[in-house]
Structure 1
Amino acid sequence: MASLIDQAADHIEILVYAGLFLFDNHPDLPDQLVDKAKAGAQIRVLLGDPDSEMVRQRGEEEGIGGDLAARARITRRYLEPVTKTPGAEVRLHGTILDNSIYRFDDDILVNPHVLGAPAGQNPVLHFRYIPGARTFRHYMKSFDYAWELGTPS
């Protein structure tokens, strides 16, 4: 994922409940997002609202209870510099999240959520935008739908 982050110039869009692994594995990610937004990239991040019923339910399903909400709060804290940057926006959502979505320009990673298993134990599917193909657009419509339901962080 590091190379996708590094190469993205126009769009970085992330839809997760917590996505804390991103910051554990890429501690400079908030600075990268700020720099990319300042260079003109559109940055949109959707985090699970730690106070929402869906985050509570998903935490129970994964067997970690309130720890998922705590992980979402930590991620939100890491993203504070991003929320203050023009061209970057962080929103909270309380949707039923069937897939985590990570877009980097014309690449999209989709992490299907298997009931009862943490996201990290599930596969990641990699799709590229191809004119006329529907898969990339299909997942981005899902992202956009959640984005419209989200509230500013």
Structure 2
Amino acid sequence: MLDESESYLWPDALPAQRAAQVSQSEVVHIYPRRGAVPTDLWQQLLEKATRQIGVLVYGGLFLPEFNHRWVPTLREKALAGAQVELLFGDPEGKHIAERGNDEGIGAAMSSKILNALAFYKELRDLDTVGIYYHDTILYNSIYRFDDEMLVNTHLYGTPAAYAPVLHLRRIGGAELFDNYVASFKQVLGKKRAVWPEH
């Protein structure tokens, strides 16, 4: 009724050891790098989602660039009532500059973000879509599709495409999925609109 798991509402309901065991069951698969994630999995997860779609990245340019159905499907989902929240790194933010320097690409990181946003302009007038900037340290890129998610972990000085990805599925009483949701919500609390007039 509250659209929250039992572990979120009552985090102490399960003994710690049992909660840790259940959380292991939330891991569907581990990919050694983002490029190893099957290309059609991103679209499959998006097409199955009906309620909540969330993306937390710095740029995430690969999604709309290599999947021409990505943005149109987001639009369809939003028009059908799904809440879509897209968080991109602030091109003028200090953490974007640091990440660009760490990866040896300098200001190209900001350009990637602006390039990615050009794909999403057709979503900016939809009531159930929020497109925001954030200026936070991105420990993980998070791609949420209702009760499944892909978490692209980050490695210092390494492009996200070469870092591991966890495929998670929410299980009641477990903690892993909900911990990433909580992280997403914290960043959402520091957002600013990309297009304030919308």
Common topology (TM > 0.5): yes
Q: Which has the higher contact order (CA 8 A, sep 6+)?
A: 2
For residues 40-77 of structure 1, the C-alpha deviation after alignment (integer angstroms, 9 at most, x for no partner) is 10100000011111011101111111111100001111
1:1-153 aligned at under 5 Å gives the runs 1-153=42-194
- After TM superposition, give the deviation of residue 28 of structure 1 in Å: 2.6
Contact 2:49 2:146 in 1 (8 A): yes
Give the whole-Å Cα distance in 2 for the aligned partners of 1:27 and 1:64. 26
Contact 2:43 2:70 in 1 (8 A): no
Residue identity opposite 1:73 in structure 2: L
> Please, which moves more after superposition, 54-63 or 28-37?
28-37
Alignment gaps of 5+ in structure 2: 1-41
Cα RMSD between the aligned structures?
0.8
Alignment gaps of 5+ in structure 1: none
Give the whole-Å Cα distance in 2 for the aligned partners of 1:52 and 1:78. 21
TM-score (norm 2): 0.76
Q: Structure 1 segments of 4 or more deviating over 6 A?
A: none
SS in 1 for 2:85: strand
Give the whole-Å Cα distance in 2 for the aligned partners of 1:80 and 1:132. 39
- After TM superposition, give the deviation of residue 122 of structure 1 in Å: 0.3
Provide the aligned length of Structure 1 versus Structure 2: 153
SS in 2 for 1:92: strand
TM-score (norm 1): 0.97
| Greater Rg by CA | 2
> Please, which moves more after superposition, 100-109 or 77-86?
77-86
